[in-house]
Structure 1
Amino acid sequence: MLTGAALLDRHPQTAHHAAPMKSRFLSWLAAVGTGVALTAEPQVLNGLMVIVDNEVITMRDVMQSVAPAVEVLMRTYGNQPDVLRQKIQEAQRDALELLVERKLILHEFERSGFNLPETVVDERIKERIRERYGGDRAKLTKTLQSQGLTYEAFRKNIREEFIIGAMTHKEVRSPSEIVVSPHKIERYYAENLDKFRIKDQIKLRAIMLNGGQTRSAAAARRLAGEILARLREGASFAEMARVYSEDTYRTQGGDRGWIERGDLRRELAEAAFGLKPGQPSDVIEVGDTFWILLVEDAKANQVRTLPEVRDEIVTTLQAEEQTRLRREWIQRLKTKSFVRYFST
């Protein structure tokens, strides 16, 4: 596997100095009617957003960068225009900052006198073709054509991705390299008990019959009654679920695992959380469906213990520390670069 920092060779280069500039965030108002307008006048698309040293970032750059995220947001929040507008603005701001950081890191690579051998880029491209295109270079070519990209642009992007990854690895420790002290773990636990609180839970099995589809409601109700009678005579709930249940949990014997009250419809939750472990419910009619529930076990509202959540806390604190280290690194790059934001 190629490792980044080991492949960054240094060559002589004159140092570049620049004065820091006070930055301002750009905020856009997306036009929202039934959706969000993603088009703009050419002069707006080409408008300056940020200057980073001797390079510029335009609105077009930002919109191209954020386009995949916007598609997801429109599918998710398309019927909530105000929320959609806010989410898109946040995505645009994040995309702009990532583009700024990208240029800062690439400039630092050049400023530091590093050199990335072209053979490394060639190998990374071969890996990409193997991983994503089954080793078929023609598929890559067709994909690039459909995206309006040239091979040269693709190669440039691969090269920059490698440089950014290598430089980040060199300057920012990976989470696994970050040691978290027991004191920090205990303090985080004490200050975030609500994050580790478990609401009332039950381990549930269910049998569901459809009425009005393959049979009449009356027939489904009658069958549910017969199943319940057999359960009360001692029949295995799991086996009865495998035979009769008509939902996707049938093959698991109706096993729903551990669930909270909010995971169920109100009618089912009221019945399920009123049952004692081992006690099957009566037949519950919800719309055109008929249910029989069985609670196998129950847990009362409680806070998970520190030993139970220690690994989760370590992972969280390692990620937070890595984020802090990266933020400080980017800030140092900004202080020795010329960065100017433009508002519109």
Structure 2
Amino acid sequence: MMRYLMNSAARRVVFACALAAASAAPQARAQQPAAPVAPAGLSESVAAVVNDDIVSTYDLAQRMRLLIATSGVQPTEENLGQFQREALISLVDEQLQFQELRRVERDQKMEIVADNTEVDEEITSMAQGNNMSREQFQAFLGSRGIGVDTLRQQIRAQMSWQRWIRGRYGSRLRVGDDQIAATQARLEAEAAKPQYQIGEVLIDASRVGGMPQALAGAQQLVTQMQQGAPFAAVARQFSALPTAANGGDAGWVGAGDMPPEVVAALEQMRPGQLSQPVQTRDGVYILYLRDKRAGGGATLVNLKQAAVGLPAGALPEAEAAARAKLAALKPQIRDCATLEATAARVEGVVAGDLGEAEAADLAPQFREAAEGLQVGQVSDPIRTQAGLHLIAVCGRRAAGGGAVDKEQIEQRLFSQQLSMIARRYMRDLRNSATIETK
């Protein structure tokens, strides 16, 4: 197992480089940078040896700069250690991947490693995704002291390794009809349970040196995201899950798709909320709940209202007048489509769309009215603390998402299996390698 420790001279090189990247002037983005060099007065040294290949402190500082620039996380004295650890792990893994790919190319007389044209096309695509030309994107990296070769190395490793894993195992993987049927049965059984649209980050405890390190790193990332770091950028750089490539977007998931600790956390969250670190068997999750929908056993109603504002302590005469006004309006409302226009003709009445909500979540007075009305019907005046209301039921449906078809299930299972194989492959390479950190 690697220990992510460095001697004091090497640490000074790395931290000085990273802090220099953090303090780069924003206006430097538009300038064409010179080739980056190690800070004056600080000598480059060895950060790690992976079998016979060296990772230098310059390589490490460059990768830290790249992580800082692309994750949106602001470096501090507290989280620089996390950047260093993540950068070193990534560089060590890439060395192991390239060593394995070179061995395969030599033994099997085949080409796997992505060439310069493929890497350049990916950089151009990344630049376009950030509304920049390729030249502007490279200038942006240069303004933060990042050599384009650092990004090229990372992209080349990712593209080549994914190509090799899919090429070697993709054609061998078979998702059987029994697996698909079992998944469909589970999804149908869970249809009555809540579903969650989430973003996810997993800090793999085995990859970062243990659960305490994973928890500490996750807490630092949560703090940074609460201060404005983009969730998607953090997920791309730090998450160990396949969804990292999509900025952590896992789409709609049910309880059976996630560890029980994650489900318990989501049950307590509201849409738009970021979780605290959630410890599981494999590591620590950070969750962003984008949306939540009730299970199939719940009823969703779409409501509109016409209301007269009236304070709770209004005189009986005022309340009686408002009630009479709404009672006279009720028979004029022929359907939901014309409710607002009809109510607008009556002075003092305000109408609006209340949207769709789960019936059980409505205020008691509204819930009772909604449950007793058919679609298209309008209630009698209802008294609340805010005033008097006519409620119209404009729609009613069972909650829950649409059925997932066979092809979607097959693709999901295939991706899960391929991801598991890739993680095991890397674990075996690490275990069999000689890795020394200085």
Deviation at 1:200, TM superposition (A): 1.2
State the 1:201 CA deviation. Answer: 1.5
Matched residue SS, 1:297: strand
Q: Which fold has the larger relative contact order, with Cα–Cα distance below 8 Å and residues 6 or more apart in sequence?
A: 1
Structure 1 match to 2:150: 153
Q: 1:199 aligns with which of 297, 301, 312?
A: 297
Letter in 1 for 2:429: L
3-state SS of paired residue (2:355):
strand
Letter in 2 for 1:331: R
Change (3 A) 1:131 1:51: same
Q: Is the 8 A contact 1:105 1:167 kept in 2?
A: no
Residue 235 of structure 1 is aligned with which of 334, 340, 345? 334
Q: Which runs of 5+ in 2 are unaligned?
A: 5-10, 17-45, 106-110, 193-295, 345-351
Matched, 1:102 2:94: yes
Cα displacement (A) at 1:330: 2.1
* Alpha-carbon offset, residue 326 of structure 1: 1.7
Cα deviations by residue, 1:77-118 (Å, 9 ceiling, x for unpaired): xxxxxxxx9xxx999998876555433223322333455443
String of CA shifts for 1:207-250, please: whole Å, max 9, x gaps: 376969xxxx999x9889856754444422132247879xxxxx
Corresponding position of 1:143? 140
Counterpart of 1:256? 355
TM-score by length of 1: 0.54
Q: Return the letter of the residue paired with 2:179.
A: K
1:296 aligns to what SS in structure 2? strand
1:51 to partner: Cα distance: 5.7
SS at 1:280's partner residue?
Answer: coil
Task: Decide whether the 8 Å contact of 2:50 with 2:436 is kept in 1.
Answer: yes
Would the aligned equivalents of 2:369 and 2:391 in 1 still touch at CA under 8 Å?
A: no
Distance 2:2 2:326 in 1: 68
Select which of 175, 181, 205 maps to 1:180. Answer: 175
Whether the 8 Å CA contact 1:204–1:296 is kept in 2: the answer is: yes
> How far 1:204 moved relative to its partner?
1.1
Q: What amino acid does structure 2 have at the position aligned with 1:104?
A: L
Gaps in structure 1 of 5+ consecutive residues: 1-22, 27-40, 73-84, 246-252
- Deviation larger for 142-151 or 94-103: 94-103
Tell me which of 416, 420, 426 is aligned to 1:324: 420
Please list, as runs of the form range in 1=range in 2, the aligned pairs for 1:163-312 lying within 5 A after superposition: 163-173=160-170, 179-190=174-185, 195-197=190-192, 198-207=296-305, 229-241=328-340, 254=353, 256-257=355-356, 259-261=357-359, 264=361, 266-267=363-364, 270-271=367-368, 274-278=371-375, 279-281=377-379, 282-283=381-382, 285=384, 292-294=391-393, 296-299=395-398, 310=406
User: What is the rounded CA distance, in whole Å, between the counterparts of 1:237 and 1:121 in structure 2?
Assistant: 56
Alignment partners' CA distance in 2, 1:334 and 1:326: 12
Are 1:121 and 2:138 matched, yes or no? no
Give the distance between the partners of 2:143 and 2:388, measured in 1 at CA.
Answer: 48
Q: Is the 8 A contact 2:300 2:358 kept in 1?
A: yes
Amino acid corresponding to residue 280 of structure 1 in structure 2: V
Q: Structure 2 vs 1, CA of residues 311 and 164 (structure 1 numbering), >3 Å: closer, same or farther?
A: closer
